[in-house]
Amino acid sequence: MAEQALVQSPGDTHQTSTGIDNTKLAMWTFLGSECLLFGALISTFLLYRTRADGAISPHEVFDIPFTSVSSFVLLMSSLTMVLAVAAIQAGDHHKTRMWLLATAMLGAVFISGQVYEFTVFVREGFTVGTSPAGSAFFILTSFHGAHVTLGIVMLLSLFGLSLQGRLPTERASAVEYVGLYWHFVDIVWIVIFTVVYLVPA
């Protein structure tokens, strides 16, 4: 009979023959596939960014100082997220809940800023139907916003589980997976902020 030793993975989630947590590997593969999704949306925007078709162009309505503050908020949410992961790995559940809630709140502030920004754009005549540039911009940023919203839901779920005592230190990997997803939406925004907002048309 072939001898097979199953080795406890560092995440303590399950045993694998390689020592690498399969769920974590799957999460990274999923994030790799997400690069292709956002790559397509960003490329579409780059292709159509100058196609305003006589209507108002994106760079005429952008409010860089406002979006910079939103970007900073999302960047800081990555810090609070990594602190939540560190806290649960250290077995500090109070701090875990505090940082999870802080991350969700910062995410909510970012989404509120995006909603406000969209409202201003629509009022100024830059909508999803105005031009190819408008369609590409709103689809890209809305997809990102939907990802952030899903991240907030997952963070609040973890917060709720922790409050009920159903998120012990042994399940720290669950916080780590949500953290990976959250950092991913942050790095996507880093690209969007640079390519869409800051790079001149």
By CB under 8 A, name the binding residues for other proteins: 2-5, 7, 10, 17-20, 24-25, 28-29, 31-36, 38-40, 42-43, 46-47, 64-65, 68, 71-72, 75-76, 78-79, 81-83, 86, 89, 179-180, 183-184, 186-187, 190-191, 193-195, 197-200
Residue 15 host element (H or E): strand 15-16
User: Could you count the other beta carbons within 10 Å of the beta carbon of residue 64?
Assistant: 12
Three-state SS sequence of 151-188: HHHHHHHHHHHHHCCCCCHHHHHHHHHHHHHHHHHHHH
Give yes or no for a contact between 59 and 201, defined as CB atoms under 8 angstroms apart: yes
**In the block, which residue shows the tokens 């505090």?**
98
